[in-house]
A and B are shown apart, each in its own frame.
Chain A
Amino acid sequence: MLKNYFKIAIAVFKRRKFFTFISLFGISFTLTILIVLTAFIDKVINDNYPDRKRDRSLYVNKMTERGDQSYNGEALSFYFLDHYVRRLKTPVKLAVSSDYRGTNTYVNNKKISISYKYTNADYWDVTEYDFLEGKPFTKQQIANAERVAVISADIKRAYFGDVPSVVGKYIEADNVQYRVCGVVKNVPVTLYMLYSDIYLPYTVSKTDYSSNTGYRGGYYGILLAASSADVPKMKKEFEQMVKKLPMSSKEYNKIYCPAETFIPAYLNTGNEDKSGLVYALTAIAIFVLLVMLLPTLNLININITRIMERSSEIGVRKAFGASSQTLVYQFIVENIILTILGCLIGIILSLIVLKVLNNASLIPNLELTLNFTVLSVGLLTCLIFGLLSGVYPAWRMSRLNVVDALKAQ
């Protein structure tokens, strides 16, 4: 039966080449967009380099205070993390790092844009950067405010060229010379809490990190529990600490500073009433709907025309024993065959687009890949697409009266 459906499907596709082209183009183009989107989301959410201990980490990246007339929300101060968060008992380590800042440097009269970030020593223990050479700076070096730096592989190549080792050499950033102590694998810019070209000890910061004793500043924290089982306890302890915090000003009456697992923290809006996760899912759903709606409607239209052209065949099949249900099944199978063909083209197109995007470096260090998750989402989308665009035309066709269908030829 399936072989027969397959034969007729291929024959119909060949007969109406332009319709087939339009259908395949619609399906493959839609799938390409969705696969690229999925690859992007998958990279941001599932790629756990360099924070490989996500299962036992909580991220703190925003503090908001609000009153009846006022609102203030931004990243945290070094003081808040060092003074309040460090005193918690459950975390075994606390990684502190600043947001990344940009500067320019010059090599052989060539301008290079560099981002830099300040960290503490625990940052290197909480995260697990892949050191291509050298090692991170130590507590002692931080205490001594030594001008040392860990740099990314990309900036090593851009600044020093293709040399085997740069540990011990000097790199200039923000008009200061830093001695390179380590080189790490690149981190994509989408991981804004961890991305940088150069990592520096927080003690060499030009702005006095210790003078700001308010809650807010330009720092993030990652709290590491001894085990994943301790994470709820760590979260609770953090929340209790936040509850006890006095308001920084009389104009505020509410304080919001969550310690969250990676994804909620990544999407933190700074407002407890507006979940970033809900916003992100809604935005993705609307985007997917819009991307899929047009080709689906187009395919439904083409399918109706195609099927109605075949009313004589429908009449014959019904006369010789096909029930309406069997015919619905046949046309859905045919549509799924078309969709699968479109999917195969879509996957090839996606591989090309991903390669072009990766080579173009539109987003620094973001290496998009077509892995099992991305492919599964793509294939599932195809199946839904095939069903959606096949069911309605098949249902309409199955209602055709046999005598009318036979007369149509």
Chain B
Amino acid sequence: MIRLQDIEKVYRTDTVETLALSSISLDIAKGEFLSIMGPSGCGKSTLLNIMGLLDAPTKGDIRIDDQKTVRLSDKQLAQFRNKKLGFIFQSYHLINDLKVLDNVELPMLYRSSTAKERTQLATEALRKVGLSNRVKHFPAQLSGGQKQRVAIARAIVGKPEIILADEPTGNLDSAMGNEIMDILLQLNKTEGTTIVMVTHDENMARKTHRLVRLFDGSQVQ
């Protein structure tokens, strides 16, 4: 589903050159739930951003669903992300000025869909994460766990084949973290969604199919 070949990422300033990722090659199968672990600053999030086409590698090749993505234009990348990928962030990144339902509808705005279809899909996604009773609330009125569930609903509303989660339980206590993890596991199991998750939590990582460890930008496991 996702194939990374010899990925390298270098951050350059006028005086310093920092190697963030070095020779990463990785194959992630369709329907797989993979977790990435490693100490802070080892390049986990950079790798996830590159997989999610939010950042470009300095060197290497990325294929998603057998499609080469390196030379896609801004517009093509946007369409690709919209249709194939869903994102979950540690700090939720909900738009505080929009209600829960509008936040969840957001990815559908960039597809040709009617308002009715958008509302239907967003309501369905919120039902899946158990937040049907919070559609009219604003993000500020929700707990951390509820916010992350809204973020999951937003990630799955467009039925993407891949979900990329950057420390989705990082800001939550263990009970809420487990709730979120259960939702992701359920999603992987019932919908067959491929999930790549960055985490610091060994317990969470153990629940996934495979674990990849990074250290100083290189894959060590």
Contact = CB atoms under 8 A, between A and B. Distances in A.
B98 A7 contact: yes
Contacts of B115: 3
Contacts of A323: 74-75, 77-79
Nearest to B78: A323
Interface string B89-105: 10101110110001001
A105 interface: no
B98 A11 contact: yes
B198 to A, nearest CB: 14
B107 A12 contact: no
A4 B107 contact: no
A317 B106 contact: yes
B136 interface: no
A321 B82 CA distance: 4
Contacts of B75: 323, 325
B109 interface: yes
A69 interface: no
A338 B93 CA distance: 25
A321 B81 contact: yes
Interface in A298-317: 312-313, 315-317
Interface residues of B, number: 30
Contact of A319 (B52, B97, B98, B109): B52
B54 A403 contact: yes
A8 B74 contact: no
Nearest to A402: B54
Given A324-B74, A409-B93, A403 B49 contact: yes
B147 interface: no
Interface of B: 49, 52, 54-55, 74-75, 77-79, 81-83, 87, 89, 91, 93-95, 97-98, 102, 105-107, 109-111, 115, 154, 158
Contacts of B98: 4, 7-8, 11
Contacts of B89: 406
A279 B83 CA distance: 58
A320 B102 contact: no
15 contacts: A7-B97, A8-B97, A11-B98, A312-B93, A313-B95, A317-B106, A318-B54, A319-B52, A320-B82, A320-B158, A321-B82, A324-B74, A325-B74, A402-B49, A409-B91
A101 B183 CA distance: 91
A320 B55 contact: no
Contact of B110 (A7, A15, A315, A322): A322
Given A4-B109, A7-B98, A320 B154 contact: yes
A320 B110 contact: yes
A7 B89 CA distance: 24
Interface string A343-360: 000000000000000000
Interface residues of A, number: 27
A27 B95 CA distance: 28
A43 B74 CA distance: 51
Interface in A185-223: none
A229 interface: no
Given A323-B75, A324-B74, A403-B49, A316 B97 contact: no
Contacts of B91: 409
Contact of A321 (B55, B102, B105, B107): B107
A62 B188 CA distance: 89
A8 B102 CA distance: 10
Contacts of B102: 4, 7
B93 A321 contact: no
A312 B89 CA distance: 11
Contacts of A316: 93-95, 106
A70 B78 CA distance: 73
A319 B81 contact: yes
A125 B205 CA distance: 98
A1 interface: yes
Which 4 A-B residue pairs are closest in the complex by CB-CB distance? A321-B82, A11-B97, A321-B110, A323-B78
